[in-house]
Structure 1
Amino acid sequence: METVLMDNLWLTISAILVLLMQGGFILLEAGSTRMKNAGHIAGKTIFTVGIASLVFWAVGYGFIYGDGNPFIGMADFFFGNYADGVGSVDFFFQLTFAAIALTIAFGGFAERGKLAAYAIFAVLFSAFVYPLVAHWIWSDQGWLANLGKQDFAGSTVVHLTGAMAALAATLMLKPRLGKYDKNGKVNDLFGHNQVYTALGVLILWVGWFGFNAGSTGGVADAFFGYVALNTQLAAGAGTIAALFLVWALNGKADVPTTLNGTLAGLVAITASCAFVAPWAAVLIGVIGGLIVVVSMNMFDKLKIDDPIFALSVHGVAGVWGTLSNGLFATPELAEMNGGLPGLFYGGGFEQLGVQLLSVVVCGVFAFVASYVLLFITKGLLGGNLRVTEEEEILGLDMSEHGSYGYPETVQSEKTSTQTGS
């Protein structure tokens, strides 16, 4: 009885840590974008977490964990039983993961998406995209779970799924005004507050221990400490790798890119934190930090405007993190947590093949389903997901909410401009 109590206390604390990651996203996304959109981003995050919570309660949990078939659950809708405290704790923990996936998806809307589009897509994504991927991988009935898919805390389920939805939104909304000129030159639209961005990353880093270590589900043998160790090592390695690569490439130790290296290390280790040795966690983080720098540059050259770098941080790093299990999973940890050892531990290509299959299938599904749902959302909004040019220039704070997140600062800047001072 005492062990059950401690397990549920740990899971509740972990859920609270994951929920607090939303504060990290608020600071990260607001700091990474322009001042005129900061209030909108902050408010939108809270608003959509509310939607995600209600939809997950109504149908999301049931589609994931309800009794059904290998592709979808079909029970436990409108979850709630006051006598089932253990189930309620697990429900709360799983809900916070669904909200994180939705927040990642909304990175593709930043600085140009209508608030109404957020609202409609939040309902559809939370009901019909995230739950299906989660069911395939995390439910005992899921078809990928039955193939031995390894994704301990969600490099695929949460991060890749959210990133593919962000890609669909980015492509449908098209680039922000002024991001690319008529000759194809990339113009930097700098975020307004690197201190906010750094603080946001630190909050996310701390919250990630609820994300990864909390996914142990309990306190037995203190295995959560091992998971936390791997998480910390990968995050540190990703930070250093990104810092030195961007420094070598550009001659400057760019702060936003370094911070994205931290996040890439965290995303990459999320799938494998319970499967690999610490040395492998460092290597996974290093490669995550390196590929995020390359990926950010690649998407810019392809004229895919991703203001929050969701595609690189959560998508590309999520793919790498998922595949790394098929390379580095140790025999002992694979036996304990499910699946087979990785290629470098004599496991052959079988586990790597399952990991690759899951990346392709889940990535394609999340992108196509999100694109279709965005197309439906566009139709419901009269043919446009995006604010007008005038509203985008004015800023979403004012055009969507009627007030600026920094009213005194913005007004003083306008006054200075008008008076020529």
Structure 2
Amino acid sequence: MDITIALNTVWVVLTGALVLFMEGGFSLLEAGLVRTKNAVNVTMKIFVDLTFGAIVFYLLGAHLMFGHDVLHIIGWGRAMAPKNIPVAAFMLFHMGFAIAAVSIISGAVAERMKFKSYIAIVVVTCGLIYPISGHWIWGTNGWLADLHVEDFAGSAAIHTMGGFMALALAYVVGPRKHRFNEDGSVNVFAPSNIPLASAGAFILWFGWFGFNAGSTLNAFDAQLSRIALNTFLAAAAGGMASIVLSMYKYRAADPSMTINGSLAGLVAITAGCAYVPSWSAIVIGLIAGMLVIFATSWTDKVKIDDPVGAIAVHGVNGFFGTIAVGLFDEKQGLLLTGHIRLLLVQLLAALVVSVWGFGTAFLVGNALKRTIGIRVTSEEEDEGLDIAAHGIPAYNELERFSDAPNMSMSNEVLFHAHAREDQSMYET
């Protein structure tokens, strides 16, 4: 094997592993932002992404996305890779992208969707919905690729598409019980574990270097360092903007908004990380960090329940990040060159992918609603999906006491106190 191909293979496999490791970030982030009684369920849904999603993408989705072009709309036949890396490395890397796209949906429908319905959504998304629109952007002779759309690592192909699918499915499945009042006010369901969610965000941030820099598919690409720098700067700026704006808006530095602000910066820079100057990565991140707060307020206003803020982070900022390339691209950006063509192409891509994601998810969601059902029962929602769907709580506090052979009277009182606390926790 040529030394160049060998090193490229190592680079793509390692960065592909970083992308796959991001699923650990999704799991911890969602487990920390939902209520305790649903932490196991969101973790199990990530396992569905990694298992069902990976296999169906390998068997079907990759070939529709990267196969020989048919009418500039869909691929067909064996998936093809660039000549500088083996097909296997290319497939592994993009398998991580497909899994990431569907993981966006998981958090938006948390705490009330049937587990088997989520499996069906993962299969359809990784097998058909994501690969078809992905072919338009990244496939050889896809119609948006022919227009020279610039989406380096997926603000449109992954985040806009996944975010608008999340919007449609959150609408179809409906809000959690007691989330919204008749007068339009919102009941706050406090996250179960902010440090856990923060750890998830840090893992996602770390994995994003593989997401963006790995998209070069080339270990010798001179852009690598700038791509990595732009990625970090946008995330830092997004978190900074969310801290400042939340302090102004809520009179407190909101940790969940800070987490989502940094993630929003990462989403927004993903399309243009290889095309924009580093100073503009900061600008893009700052705007993204503010947008995520306003977008979260909007979803509450229209009574769309999104427990983790996936719509605001991925949908809104994927859309913005796609357009931002048309503004800040060094060679074709409107603000730097005065040229408007790229901005129009980017706007078209963002609109098309958002409509595709929303429309297909709306149809799939309603089909599931009329067949196997999409929402758990009211009793299961009260009990929590950890017990209802998986038969085990995330944190078994009673085990410490039930294992003790000689329980003293004081310990017995403590045991029943914990039992009452656990029962009240599951009833909230």
Task: In structure 2, give the amino acid aligned to 1:329.
Answer: D
Pairing partner for 2:364 from 370, 373, 377:
373
Match of 2:409 in 1: none
Q: Give 3-state SS (helix, strand or coil) of 2:68's partner.
A: coil
Q: Is the 8 A contact 1:268 1:321 kept in 2?
A: yes
TM superposition shift of 1:298: 1.3
CA distance in 1, matches of 2:162, 2:239: 22
Match of 1:355 in 2: 346
CA distance in 1, matches of 2:397, 2:9: 46
1:152-207 CA-to-partner distances (Å, cap 9, x unmatched) read 00001111111111111100011101111222210101110000011000000000
Match of 1:415 in 2: 419
CA distance in 2, matches of 1:31, 1:329: 37
Task: In structure 2, give the amino acid aligned to 1:369.
Answer: T
Task: In structure 2, give the amino acid aligned to 1:214.
Answer: G
Match of 2:113 in 1: 113
Match of 1:343 in 2: 334
Q: Tell me, which stretches of 5 or more residues in structure 2 are unaligned? A: 400-414
C-alpha distance 277-418 of structure 1, shift in aligned 2 (>3 A): closer
Residue 76 (structure 1) aligned with residue 78 (structure 2): yes
C-alpha distance 88-413 of structure 1, shift in aligned 2 (>3 A): farther
TM superposition shift of 1:402: 1.1
Residue 126 (structure 1) aligned with residue 133 (structure 2): no
Q: Normalising by structure 1, report the TM-score.
A: 0.93
C-alpha distance 274-127 of structure 1, shift in aligned 2 (>3 A): same
- Aligned residue runs from structure 1 range 3-402, under 5 A: 3-69=4-70, 70-76=72-78, 86-331=86-331, 341-381=332-372, 384-402=373-391
TM superposition shift of 1:120: 1.0
Q: Is the 8 A contact 2:45 2:106 kept in 1?
A: no
1:5-38 CA-to-partner distances (Å, cap 9, x unmatched) read 1111010000000000000000000100000000
Q: Is the 8 A contact 2:69 2:139 kept in 1?
A: no
C-alpha distance 3-345 of structure 1, shift in aligned 2 (>3 A): same
TM superposition shift of 1:417: 4.5
C-alpha distance 354-418 of structure 1, shift in aligned 2 (>3 A): closer
C-alpha distance 375-243 of structure 1, shift in aligned 2 (>3 A): same
1:228-274 CA-to-partner distances (Å, cap 9, x unmatched) read 00001000000101100010111100111011100000000000000
Q: Is the 8 A contact 1:48 1:118 kept in 2?
A: no
Task: In structure 1, give the amino acid aligned to 2:351.
Answer: V
Task: In structure 2, give the amino acid aligned to 1:39.
Answer: V
Number of aligned residues? 405
Q: Give 3-state SS (helix, strand or coil) of 1:306's partner.
A: coil
CA distance in 1, matches of 2:221, 2:174: 50
Q: Give 3-state SS (helix, strand or coil) of 1:407's partner.
A: coil
1:267-288 CA-to-partner distances (Å, cap 9, x unmatched) read 0000000000000000000000
Q: Give 3-state SS (helix, strand or coil) of 1:73's partner.
A: strand
Q: Is the 8 A contact 1:68 1:75 kept in 2?
A: no
CA distance in 2, matches of 1:122, 1:276: 33
Higher Rg of the two aligned structures: 2
Q: Tell me, which stretches of 5 or more residues in structure 1 are unaligned? A: 332-340
Task: In structure 2, give the amino acid aligned to 1:272.
Answer: G
CA distance in 1, matches of 2:423, 2:295: 43
CA distance in 2, matches of 1:278, 1:182: 47
CA distance in 1, matches of 2:134, 2:222: 26
Q: Is the 8 A contact 2:42 2:107 kept in 1?
A: no
TM superposition shift of 1:301: 1.3
C-alpha distance 278-419 of structure 1, shift in aligned 2 (>3 A): closer
C-alpha distance 399-122 of structure 1, shift in aligned 2 (>3 A): same
CA distance in 2, matches of 1:419, 1:398: 12
TM superposition shift of 1:375: 2.0
1:352-407 CA-to-partner distances (Å, cap 9, x unmatched) read 000000111111011111111122222330xx200001000000000011111112
Q: Give 3-state SS (helix, strand or coil) of 2:188's partner.
A: coil
Q: Give 3-state SS (helix, strand or coil) of 1:408's partner.
A: coil
Q: Could you tell me the percent identity over the aligned residues?
A: 39
Q: Is the 8 A contact 1:234 1:286 kept in 2?
A: yes
CA distance in 2, matches of 1:364, 1:72: 17
Task: In structure 1, give the amino acid aligned to 2:167.
Answer: L
CA distance in 2, matches of 1:412, 1:233: 51
CA distance in 2, matches of 1:14, 1:135: 22
Q: Which moved more, 1:177-186 or 1:151-160?
A: 177-186
